[in-house]
Chain A
């Protein structure tokens, strides 16, 4: 079993829809990261969470440490949100991350 599981693997939505991507992990962590990877391959860090909830524009990330679960929400989705969203968890002093396989989001106009 992978240490970091994301669902769904693929998600297609219509512009304007509310999107939720889930991440479950099985190891103890000090922080959880949500990352965005566009078709060119470069990765951008969206959020780093250790508890609670964070919001940035139309993006909201939540984490439940007891349930070892995090969600990434996108409100009023737009075609430019189309990308792979990756959940990664880290722990320990060396900051090594364990990555999920990613969720491919396609938002159609």
Chain B
């Protein structure tokens, strides 16, 4: 079945460390997105990529980095520069009809 796989589901990081969240899709979608969800807030866009080897900053890109070397993969790195990294991170992709598919998310906790 086609879909988006995010791993790991839970991730713990020590302060000062970088950590990379994986997002893989087998839907042949061109556009992929990373969102952050905090309690009581709507999802906010971190980065997005509409084609391979190209990506754009979203509304809250500071402290994050991405790459898009393959159509299927859009990993997100949470760097030590991100002041409040503890959050739930969701990856999504969009098909040609405009319908969104979301991954199951990664919950990152800084300890």
Contacts and interface: CB of A to CB of B under 8 A. Distances in A.
A94 B59 CA distance: 14
A48 B40 CA distance: 23
B99 A48 contact: yes
B104 A40 contact: yes
B56 interface: yes
A4 B42 CA distance: 9
Contacts of B88: 41
Interface string B22-59: 00000000010101010011111100101000001010
A33 B42 contact: no
A7 interface: no
B66 interface: no
Interface class of chain B by DSSP: strand
Contacts of A100: 42
Given A94-B56, A95-B94, A42 B100 contact: no
B54 to A, nearest CB: 11
Which range contains the number of A residues in contact with the other chain?
20 to 34
Nearest to B39: A101
Interface string A75-109: 00000000000101010001111111110000000
A8 B101 CA distance: 25
A98 B35 CA distance: 11
A85 to B, nearest CB: 12
Nearest to B43: A99
B107 interface: yes
B48 to A, nearest CB: 7
B101 to A, nearest CB: 7
Nearest to A31: B98
Interface in A20-71: 30-31, 33, 35, 40-45, 48
Q: Give the 4 A-B CB pairs with smallest separation, nearest first.
A: A99-B42, A42-B104, A43-B102, A41-B105
Interface of B: 31, 33, 35, 37, 40-45, 48, 50, 56, 58, 88, 90, 92, 94, 97-105, 107
